[in-house]
Structures are given as C-alpha cells and as structure tokens.
Amino acid sequence: MPTTEATAPANETIQDLVIGNKILYRQKVVDAFGHLSVRHDKDPARYLMSRYVPPSFVTADDIVTFDLDSNPLDKTGLRYYSERFIHGEIYKLRADVKAIVHCHAPQLIPFAATKVPLRPLYHMSAFLGCRGCGVPVFDIREAAGMTDMLIRTPELGKALAASLEDKPMVLMRGHGATIVGGSVKQVVYRSIYAVENAALQMDAVRLGEPVYLADEEAVKAAESADKVVERPWALWRCEAVGDGDAAQK
C-alpha cells in the first residue's frame, strides 16, 4: 500500500527522526548499530524507521513506514534492521510510547550482565527510577533458550515488550538496552542520560554505597526533566549537524 498525502507523516516527524539518529551517534549512544523509531503521527498503527544503514548515515530518503507487525508499507524490497520487531511489538503493547531507541552503549552492558540494578543517581536520569525500583533486565535465555541474542522474531519482540512492562527502559543481558518515550526528543534525552548515569553509577558503586534518588524524588525530577528536553536537543542538534538555527534557539 503506497503512502498517500493523507497518510504521509509530518515533515517535523521525519526531521526529528533523522536528526535524532545523528544525535545518538554523536553522543555515542549508538555506533554502526542500534536504531531509533517513531510512531506515525497520523496513524498509530504504523511506525517510521530507517532502512538498514548506520544511524549516522540516515537521511529522509532512508525512512521506511512499517505496520506494527514490522512489515514495510513502502520502500519494499530493501534490507531492514533484523531487530525491527523490538519496535513493532512495543508500539502494540504500549499506546503511550511514541518513540523507541535500541542501542549497545558499552556503559549499559555491565548493568545487564550483573546483579547491580541501574538506578538514578541524579536528577538528569531520574526517569530510571520512575514507577519502581530500577531498570528491568530481559534475559533472552528465559524466553527462548540458546539464541544469537537478537530479537529476530515477533515472538521475541513480544517477550521483550512484556518485560518492559510500563517502564521507560529495559536492559538486555548480553546485548544492550531499549529505551522508550513520548517523543523522539524525550527518548533521545532518556538514552543519553541513561548512559551517563550508568557511567557515574559504576564510579559511585566502587567508591562506596551510593544514595540514589528516592522514588518520590525520581518521579518529581522526571516530570521536571520532561519540561526541558528542548534545551539539550538544541545543543545536541547543533553538535550533530552544526545547525546555526538550533544554535540560536
């Protein structure tokens, strides 16, 4: 089914998706691997994500429309990310989710492989403490036994989505993490500060028993952070694409 005027996403949706990819690369959340998607702004039963290219290479021409079973609805016959089911299955289960990041950021891997829960050490990453006690860890072994660790099927996507529950992030043992948000800007913010928190939490744990944000502090700080995502976005956009307009925002 071709995309018509009526079903074409807003230019801003595409622009945020393209710039978000370049920001995630510039901020080292992704390298040649990892992906960012956004739910279609006119049709909640679709999502938009790049074809199979490194995030830093993504242009508007690379953006493909997928249904929630992760079938391409346009630009068919190309190579796509084999783990796109992460995105489709989460969009099915979580109506509140409008954008998703999947990454292998090295700072996150140790928290996916040990018993130390990733928890918010400062207000910038308060969302990590929202809705309870730290970030859940998905172990693909429990869902499917011995695999190549990748979310290659709808079933694995469903299992990952279920482990996420109502939280903003899930760690994936031996693999990486998936972060969700209400917009591209929010999920990019969350991804960058989740990685930052992981790095400084490792330092704090080694120094001594750290004091984390209390749940109530985390909820309040996360609400405040949601009101300021435009400010770091303007800087990250400027750093990633040298955008003068952004610099003056």
Active site residues: 83
Nearest C-alpha neighbor of 192 from the set 203, 202, 181: 181
Instruction: Pick from 10, 15, 57, 131 the residue near a copy of itself by CB under 8 A.
Output: 57
Choices 12-20, 39-47, 67-75, 217-225; region in contact with a copy of itself by CB under 8 A: 217-225
Residue 179 φ then ψ, to 5°: -120, 140
Alpha helices in the chain (DSSP H): 11-26, 85-93, 109-113, 140-144, 154-164, 184-207, 215-226, 230-241, 244-248
Beta bridge partners of residue 21, listed in sequence order: none
Pick between residue 43 and residue 226 the one whose CB is nearest to a copy of itself. Answer: 226
If binding means CB under 8 A, how many residues of this protein chain bind a copy of itself?
67
Instruction: Pick from 3, 8, 26, 31 the residue near a copy of itself by CB under 8 A.
Output: 31
Instruction: Pick from 76, 115, 242, 245 the residue near a copy of itself by CB under 8 A.
Output: 115
The CB density around residue 33, as the number of other CB atoms within 10 Å, is 13
Give Cβ neighbours of residue 240 (< 8 Å, ≥ 6 apart).
19, 22, 23, 25, 26, 27
Q: Is 242 in the site for a copy of itself (CB under 8 A)?
A: no
Site residues (CB under 8 A) for a copy of itself, limited to 139-158: 141, 146-150
Q: Is 73 in the site for a copy of itself (CB under 8 A)?
A: no
Nearest C-alpha neighbor of 16 from the set 32, 39, 45, 33: 39
Q: Is 159 in the site for a copy of itself (CB under 8 A)?
A: no
We find the least distance from the C-beta atom of residue 43 to a copy of itself, in angstroms, to be 29
Instruction: Pick from 98, 102, 167, 175 the residue near a copy of itself by CB under 8 A.
Output: 175
Q: Which amino acid is at 40?
A: H
Q: Is 54 in the site for a copy of itself (CB under 8 A)?
A: yes
Beta bridge partners of residue 138, listed in sequence order: 172
Q: Is 89 in the site for a copy of itself (CB under 8 A)?
A: no
Alpha helices in 140-243 (DSSP H): 140-144, 154-164, 184-207, 215-226, 230-241
The CA-based angle 212-217-218, given to 5 degrees, is 70
36, 99 Cβ separation under 8 angstroms: yes
Instruction: Pick from 24, 35, 232, 240 the residue near a copy of itself by CB under 8 A.
Output: 232
The CB density around residue 27, as the number of other CB atoms within 10 Å, is 19
Q: Is 202 in the site for a copy of itself (CB under 8 A)?
A: yes
Q: Is 169 in the site for a copy of itself (CB under 8 A)?
A: no
Q: Is 200 in the site for a copy of itself (CB under 8 A)?
A: yes
Instruction: Pick from 85, 91, 138, 236 the residue near a copy of itself by CB under 8 A.
Output: 236
Binding site for a copy of itself (CB under 8 A): 31-33, 52-54, 56-57, 104, 106-107, 109-116, 120-124, 126, 141, 146-150, 173-176, 196, 199-200, 202-214, 216-217, 220-221, 223-224, 228, 231-232, 234-236, 238, 247-249
